[in-house]
Amino acid sequence: MNRYSLEEFVDATRQEDKGEGLFELETPRLLEINLTDQIWAKSGAMISYQGNIKFAREGILEHGLGKMFKRAFSGEGSALMKATGNGKLYVADQGKKISIIRLAGEAFYVSGNDLLAFEPSLKWDIKLMRKIAGMLSGGLFNIRLEGYGMVAITSHYEPLTLVVSPNQPVYTDPNATVAWSGNLQPEFVADVSLKTFVGRGSGDSLQMKFTGDGFVVVQPFEEGYFSNDS
């Protein structure tokens, strides 16, 4: 354990401006947003701010009836807050590691539980895994982002990106799956032989299968979308 005098502690942990633009990693688990206009962030992610910033929960009709119904189905995990104004906004999510990605016209899927913040220039939509919605309580949902702008995602510990190719599909535990490229369409497969091998939270044998050309991001942790009781 590091031991500091009070002055040393303040110096060691003091906020620093790094000049990295809108999104700046103050620490690996704390995102500083240098706000000059507007940003979308996960509801409840704000831990501190400086300046003149106003916060509002996502309006239930703000993005149309389609998204309203999807949000009602997917639950609070997809709820967003809108921060508007000028100042410094600090956001985090349960101490998870933060990665910043700049999209340049691509599409990108993020698990609803792992989206931290994104620029309003990006188009977004909630996507539900309908095939399993009736099988598992609440189903599984993710956010599709597309366009030009930055997005911050979170993962428990260090994320790992796996390449998907036409002759090499990738199988993942749904609870450990963080994100994937926009051209991939995952499907759910069941293999009872995996029952005693896969993680405790994956509904025993249910796995996600990714085929095509792209990538999938996983984390060494199970979020707990599914349980053995599902």
Q: Smallest Cα–Cα separation from 89: which of 139, 135, 54?
A: 54
What pLDDT score was predicted for residue 140?
Answer: 66
Last residue of a domain, one of 139, 155, 171: 155
Residue 166 included in any domain: yes
Confidence of residue 128 (pLDDT cuts 50, 70, 90): confident
The pair of structure tokens assigned to 103 is 């999209």
Residue 1 included in any domain: no
Tell me the C-alpha distance between 31 and 26, whole Å: 6
Tell me the C-alpha distance between 115 and 169, whole Å: 25
Predicted TM-score of the model (pTM): 0.82
Q: Smallest Cα–Cα separation from 98: which of 14, 34, 179, 162?
A: 179
Residue 7 included in any domain: no
Tell me which residue range forms the domain holding 96.
20-155
Is the same domain home to 110 and 169? no
Q: Count H helices, E strands: the chain?
A: 3, 15
Give pLDDT tens digits for 58-112. 654 455 544 544 454 444 445 789 999 999 999 999 999 999 999 999 999 998 8
CB 190 within 8 A of CB 205: yes
Residue 14 included in any domain: no
What pLDDT score was predicted for residue 193?
Answer: 65
**Chain-wide mean pLDDT for the chain?**
82
Q: Smallest Cα–Cα separation from 89: which of 126, 40, 19, 147?
A: 40
What pLDDT score was predicted for residue 70?
Answer: 47
Is the same domain home to 102 and 187? no
Is the same domain home to 25 and 100? yes
Q: Is 215 helix (H, G, I), strand (E, B) or coil?
A: strand
CA-derived radius of gyration, the chain: 19
CB atoms under 10 Å from CB of 121, counted, come to: 11
Last residue of a domain, one of 155, 177, 211: 155
Tell me the C-alpha distance between 197 and 169, whole Å: 19
Tell me the C-alpha distance between 116 and 112, whole Å: 9
The pair of structure tokens assigned to 167 is 């002759």
Is the same domain home to 161 and 185? yes
According to DSSP, the residues that pair with 163 across neighbouring strands are 215
Is the same domain home to 162 and 147? no
Q: For residue 57, what is the domain's CATH number?
A: 3.60.160.10
Overall domain count for the chain:
2
